[in-house]
Amino acid sequence: MANEDNKKLRIAIDGPAGAGKSTVARFVAQNLGIHHLDTGAMYRAMGLYATEQGINPQNADAVRALLPNVDIRVEFDGAGKQHILLNDRDVTNALRTEEVGNAASAVAQVPELRALLRNAQRAVGERYDIVMDGRDICTEVLPDTPHKFFVTASARERTRRRMRQLERLGQTANFDAVLADILARDRQDSRRDAAPLRREPDTMMIDTTHNSVRRAVERILSAIAEREESGKIKEES
Ligand code: DC
């Protein structure tokens, strides 16, 4: 669904950890035949780097001091899959652990890192029609797009999904421990000073607690189609 008038189609999806927003974003992008950028992976790359350098990711000054040595880039391969390059090293497959996720949430509090990644994300949005998901996409990265969504689910449901994922990986986990981890991440992502996770009134809420991913994707696609149509009508009149 690329726009004819060369204006890029930009779709913003925010939400808390474990709400399924990257899965929803990927399907929306596939359906529209456009790219998907999971911006959390860029913060994860910085979390990975801090950990590799032996830095405590909660130490903002130490994280800041690393920034001049860090280059985080996104590339899409022929199949449209995103790759994250950390100082020219493809780290895509090293980003999906709990440890890296928690480190990402910690380094994401540093405003100077956020400014760097935000610029890189906007540059991707200038280049491609795109679905971007993260925590500050609606509020900071693509605030001018009419297509803004907040995908969420209750903390208990997100915990159940995370437990299932861990079980599939052959790992055992304790429900209360996973729930505590999810609540801690919610707190850190939504209470930080720099671009906290929050939903503004112009952003459509998609609650997946009792709904399937398919249903969420359908709702988002129909909202996009409706807004694109009403945008066209406005331009013509
Ligand atoms: O979506 P995720 O779990 O991969 O993100 C990892 C962390 O990165 C998340 O806890 C907070 C941070 N993040 C952010 O601050 N802003 C974004 N746009 C995306 C992620």
What does the radius of gyration of the chain's CA atoms come to, in whole angstroms?
A: 18
Of all residues in the chain, what percent carry a pLDDT higher than 70?
Answer: 97
Which residue's alpha carbon is nearest to atom 10 within ligand 1? Answer: 105
- What atom in ligand 1 is closest to the CA of residue 133? 18
- Which of the listed residues 13, 23, 43 should we mutate to test ligand 1's pocket, taking the one with most ligand atoms within 8 A of CB? 43
- What atom in ligand 1 is closest to the CA of residue 189? 11
Least confident segment among 56-65, 157-166, 207-216, 226-235 = 226-235
Assess whether the C-beta atom of 44 lies below 6 angstroms from ligand 1. Answer: yes
Q: Which residues contact 96 (CB under 8 A, 6 or more apart)?
A: 44
pLDDT band at 171 (very low <50, low <70, confident <90, very high): confident
4: pLDDT strictly greater than 50: no
Q: How far apart are CA 200 and CA 85, in angstroms?
A: 32
Determine the average pLDDT of the residues in 201-228. 96
Assess whether the C-beta atom of 138 lies below 6 angstroms from ligand 1. Answer: no
Determine the average pLDDT of the residues in 95-113. 94
Q: Ligand 1 center to residue 7 CA distance, Å?
A: 27
Higher local confidence (pLDDT), 167 or 222 = 222
- What atom in ligand 1 is closest to the CA of residue 136? 18
34: pLDDT strictly greater than 80: yes
Determine the average pLDDT of the residues in 96-109. 93
Q: Ligand 1 center to residue 102 CA distance, Å?
A: 9
2: pLDDT strictly greater than 50: no
Predicted confidence at residue 70, as pLDDT, reads 97
Per-chain mean pLDDT for the chain: 94
Assess whether the C-beta atom of 188 lies below 6 angstroms from ligand 1. Answer: no
Q: How far apart are CA 167 and CA 226, in angstroms?
A: 40
pLDDT band at 237 (very low <50, low <70, confident <90, very high): low
Predicted confidence at residue 138, as pLDDT, reads 98
Q: CB atoms < 10 A from the CB of 66, how many?
A: 16
The sign of the torsion formed by the CA atoms of 91, 95, 96, 98 equals positive
Q: How far apart are CA 197 and CA 140, in angstroms?
A: 10
Collapsing DSSP to helix, strand or coil, 93 comes out as: helix
Q: CB atoms < 10 A from the CB of 165, how many?
A: 14
Collapsing DSSP to helix, strand or coil, 220 comes out as: helix
Assess whether the C-beta atom of 74 lies below 6 angstroms from ligand 1. Answer: no
Assess whether the C-beta atom of 17 lies below 6 angstroms from ligand 1. Answer: yes
Nearest one of 138, 189, 165, 128 to 2, comparing CA atoms:
128
Helix (H) or strand (E) holding 204: strand 204-207
The sign of the torsion formed by the CA atoms of 95, 100, 103, 104 equals positive
pLDDT band at 98 (very low <50, low <70, confident <90, very high): confident
- Angle between helix axes 155-168 and 175-191 (nearest 10 degrees) is 120
Nearest one of 45, 174, 26, 36 to 107, comparing CA atoms:
45
The whole model's pTM is what?
A: 0.94
Collapsing DSSP to helix, strand or coil, 89 comes out as: strand
- What atom in ligand 1 is closest to the CA of residue 21? 1
Assess whether the C-beta atom of 136 lies below 6 angstroms from ligand 1. Answer: yes
* Strand arrangement of the beta sheet that strand 89-90 belongs to: 72-76, 82-86, 89-90
Q: Give CA separation, 41 vs 51, 206, 207, in Å.
A: 15, 22, 23
Which residue's alpha carbon is nearest to atom 1 within ligand 1? Answer: 40
Instruction: Identify whether the C-beta of residue 152 lies closer than 8 Å to the C-beta of residue 206.
Output: yes
Least confident segment among 3-12, 155-164, 226-235 = 3-12
Which residue's alpha carbon is nearest to atom 20 within ligand 1? Answer: 40
